[in-house]
Amino acid sequence: MKKKAIKALWKQCFTDSADFVDLYFDLRYNNEVNIALESGKDVIAALQLLPYPMTFCGKLIQTAYISGACTHPDYRNKGVMRELLSQAFGRMIQTKSLISTLIPAESWLYDYYAHAGYAAVFHYAQKELSAQKLPTTASVQVSHTNQYEEEIYQYLNKKMEERSCCIQHTETDFRVILADLARTQDSVYVAKQEGAIVGIAVGYKWEQAVYVKELLTESEEISNELLHQIGQISGQDQIKLTLPPTPADEAQRSGMARIIDAKSVLQLYAAAYPEQEMSIELVDEQLSANNGYYYVCNGKCMYSEERIPETHIRLNIGELSERILAPLQPYMSLMLD
């Protein structure tokens, strides 16, 4: 019953197509990841906490991605979502999620979530290419599919884990991505040399172009050849490629992150960057367990509830999230946003 009510609320709040909503509630939704508030018998707000692994400071950590956060129009601006987020943070502590992530549905929501401790640390770059004009010096065979194949997932998983600070996709999640590709008759394009995968691209056709949402290959030459053949297979010359930004790119914000467990995150950070020294007085209005004094030095993070005579930088949790995560250039893709 609750699933049906939450699905109805989703349809009221968002403009997603009916087939996408069906896919989401068939494959992603379950009661274990859902949090909802009710008034009487009516669901007035809901969100889902989707678990995602993330590479961070040489480790694979657990994160919680907030999906489908929505409030019934009659209950907006009454603190309902603030209460829902508070419950969500408590759930994240229970599930040992060190960081929470989300993609705001509208630009004004960046400011809203900033008040809950989130910082806009995820960015992307987009390049527009002509498939015909790309240099084709690599010899690869390209096929395309939207069906699950183990070797394709293993290649995607291997290449994404090479990114030092990046949201990862489990096999289950990859199957959801493929189901979404099948829904829109789009594909994963696979490049092979001598029978081995050397590159993959996830492409969606839209308005006389192919939007390549992820490109993972062994070399620039293979990337160019793969994109060139995508143009031939799709019949579209215009390629719009989304990729991690470089310093030379005009980066666009794509998502936000919030530290949930400051002690664990700072210990991992300290171990990965032993040359870093920080003395922080941390204030977290939503998660009081994070409040206190942190000393990052010589590869360790020490914590105290009481101030030790020393010069401290006073940071709120959003400022700490920005300070720790932004320099690591975190990246997320294929989130079905």
| pLDDT higher than 80, residue 302 | yes
H helices of 37-108, where? 80-94
222 and 281 belong to one structural domain:
no
Rounded Cα distance, 284 and 262, in Å = 10
Interaxial angle between packed helices 171-183 and 150-161, expressed in degrees from 0 to 180 and rounded to the nearest 10 = 110
pLDDT of 135: 93
134 and 236 belong to one structural domain:
yes
pLDDT of 30: 87
One-letter identity of residue 106: E
Domain boundary among 102, 117, 147: 102
Give a yes or no: residue 19 inside a domain. Answer: yes
Give a yes or no: residue 31 inside a domain. Answer: yes
Give the number of other CB atoms < 10 A from CB of residue 7.
18
238 and 306 belong to one structural domain:
no
Token pair 């009221």: residue? 12
Rounded Cα distance, 209 and 238, in Å = 5
Give a yes or no: residue 118 inside a domain. Answer: no
137 and 236 belong to one structural domain:
yes
193 and 236 belong to one structural domain:
yes
Q: How confident is the model at residue 1 (pLDDT cuts 50, 70, 90)?
A: low
| pLDDT higher than 80, residue 278 | yes
What token pair was written down for 76?
A: 């907006």
Give a yes or no: residue 334 inside a domain. Answer: no
pLDDT (mean) for 55-76: 97
Query: Residue 167's domain is classified under what CATH number?
Result: 3.40.630.30
> 47: buried, middle or exposed (CB in 10 Å: 19+, 13-18, 0-12)?
buried
Rounded Cα distance, 160 and 333, in Å = 10
206 and 164 belong to one structural domain:
yes
133 and 74 belong to one structural domain:
no
313-316/278-283 β-pairing: parallel
Give a yes or no: residue 12 inside a domain. Answer: yes
Give a yes or no: residue 273 inside a domain. Answer: yes
Domain boundary among 243, 273, 299: 243
Task: Give the count of domains, the chain.
Answer: 3
Give a yes or no: residue 180 inside a domain. Answer: yes
What token pair was written down for 185?
A: 């008759």
Q: pLDDT by residue (tens digit) across 216-265?
A: 999 999 999 999 999 999 999 999 999 999 988 889 999 999 999 999 99
From the list 171, 147, 146, 148, the residue with the least C-alpha distance to 158 is 171
Supply the pTM of this predicted model: 0.95
Considering the chain, what is the average pLDDT of its residues? Answer: 95
Give a yes or no: residue 256 inside a domain. Answer: no
Rounded Cα distance, 111 and 119, in Å = 9
223 and 143 belong to one structural domain:
yes
**Structural domain of residue 60, as residue ranges?**
2-102
153 and 235 belong to one structural domain:
yes
Is residue 124 within 8 A of residue 115, CB to CB? The reply is no
161 and 228 belong to one structural domain:
yes
239 and 271 belong to one structural domain:
no
96 and 130 belong to one structural domain:
no
How far the first Cα of the chain sits from its last, in Å, is 26
